[in-house]
Amino acid sequence: MSGAIWNLLSFIVALGVLITVHEFGHFWVARKNGVLVKRFSIGFGKALLRWRDKQGTEFVIAAIPLGGYVRMLDERVDPVLPQFKDLAFNHKTVWQRMAIIAAGPAANFIFAVFALWLMYMLGVQTMRPIIASIEPQSIAAQAGMTAQQQIVSVNQHSATDAGSVNLLLVEQIGSESITVGLKDVATLQEHTVILDTRNWRFDPEKQSVFSSLGLNLARPQALTEIAAVAPDSAAEQAGIRVDDKILRIDDELIDNWTQIQTIVSNSPEQLLNIGLLRDGTEIELQVTPGRVETEDGFSQGMLGVSPKVSEWPDGVLYTQRYGVFDAIGAGLAHTWQLTRLSFSMIGKLVTGDVSVKHLSGPISIAQGAGTTASIGLVAFLSFLALISVNLAVINLLPLPVLDGGHLMYMLLELMRGKPVSEKTQEIGFRFGALILLTLMGIALLNDISRL
């Protein structure tokens, strides 16, 4: 199966699950409050499958799997006979209507907790955030951070794995300083440092949050031995083989793979003399790296080889696995962290601390779904939890076309003692739709630019 088809199928499954959960929240609370639900649809457009239950609700699976809706009996939309008015959404109290609207995002939050609970029950392989080295003159170096220390907290929020630390650091984008708690690997003594992040520049498309601060975590390292040679590449044409070890390029002795990358990138279509160790014998070859264009319009050299990597350092990789009840606490904590981060990122988009060029759309989500589904169930559950939280948070934004916009109108109704006029609501819906479509358009263009 091709990667594109796999991504699409994974995307449809993920979106179908999350939309069903969201709409079921509306559906369940509506019925509990005595509202007649006319239709429960997953997807839009032509119905592929439909059936009715004993209470008269039509359930539909439609052709376009990009959303869904719950259509309730409402006098503002449908003619309602007097004897059925009590079943109409608009005849319920403000608090009942707010509960029905809020139930969709709430269901997504609950699903995220469930997915993470199951993930932690199954066990998730992760890594301890142990610092292997610090880049000279970096933000981390200026703060006095050193190797062989484990990051245990960020701004008083504790963390035991690199993934949690990553989320906590991303949350601090735009801050002038970050307090980092550290534990010495050898002595277990703990202390804190303060990172000066006033000049912090982080581009998530080009670097990790750790490297942007000058931190290199303990993980397998690229060796100077060749693991693979691309067909028809400059390396193959020059006679470089798998298992060759690069000793030097021109007059520079090679200690690490980064040196090789730097030299080759800076030498497009330039002849290089490469010293190799092959089967215990030193040989020398001449190679001319090919030229490729980067996204920024610059040219760089390409050799067409990939390196072997070392084993994981001792004590870095471990499995997080909890019992039934402890997994609930871990799922709740992780969901809260994702929720806090989502709201924080939205705020930073508004203030300009995060650029709209980092927005992701359906193509990126599909790629994420395909990648995590390929890795396995645990990774896919983590992805579902992340997207479920994002879906809930986005729906709570006070835009009239979203659940949050409806809740905003109902709060105004509570304060005013009467509903917001239909004309005002209509203007708000158009304004909200314009903002939402603009953001979706930007996200889609960002996706296309990344292809």
Q: Are 98 and 410 in contact (CB under 8 A)?
A: yes
Catalytic residue check, 23? yes
Listed in sequence order, the residues at least 6 apart from 69 whose beta carbon sits closer than 8 Å to its beta carbon are 23, 39, 41
29: Cα within 13 Å, side-chain hemisphere: 19
Listed in sequence order, the residues at least 6 apart from 370 whose beta carbon sits closer than 8 Å to its beta carbon are 3, 6, 7, 8, 9, 10, 11
Which CA distances in Å does 366 have to 20, 175, 203?
A: 18, 31, 22
Burial (CB count within 10 angstroms: exposed 0-12, middle 13-18, buried 19+), residue 300: middle
Q: How far apart are CA 117 and CA 382, in angstroms?
A: 10
Indicate the DSSP class of residue 82: G
Tokens 């649809």, residue?
41
Which residues pair with residue 194 across a beta bridge?
179
Q: How far apart are CA 121 and CA 111, in angstroms?
A: 15
Question: Residue 40 CB: number of other CB atoms within 10 A?
Answer: 22
Please identify which of the residues 23, 58, 269, 422 carries the catalytic annotation. 23
Q: How far apart are CA 226 and CA 433, in angstroms?
A: 53
Question: What's the first-to-final CA gap in the chain, in angstroms?
Answer: 20
Buried b (16+ CB within 10 A) or exposed e, 69-80: bbbbbbeeeeeb
Q: How far apart are CA 412 and CA 420, in angstroms?
A: 7
Which CA distances in Å does 215 have to 37, 138, 149, 261?
A: 54, 8, 11, 19
Buried b (16+ CB within 10 A) or exposed e, 154-168: beebebbbbbbbbbb
Instruction: Find, among 326, 210, 236, 366, the residue nearest to 289 by Cα.
Output: 236
Q: Are 310 and 291 in contact (CB under 8 A)?
A: no
Q: Are 393 and 108 in contact (CB under 8 A)?
A: no
Q: Which residues are catalytic?
A: 23
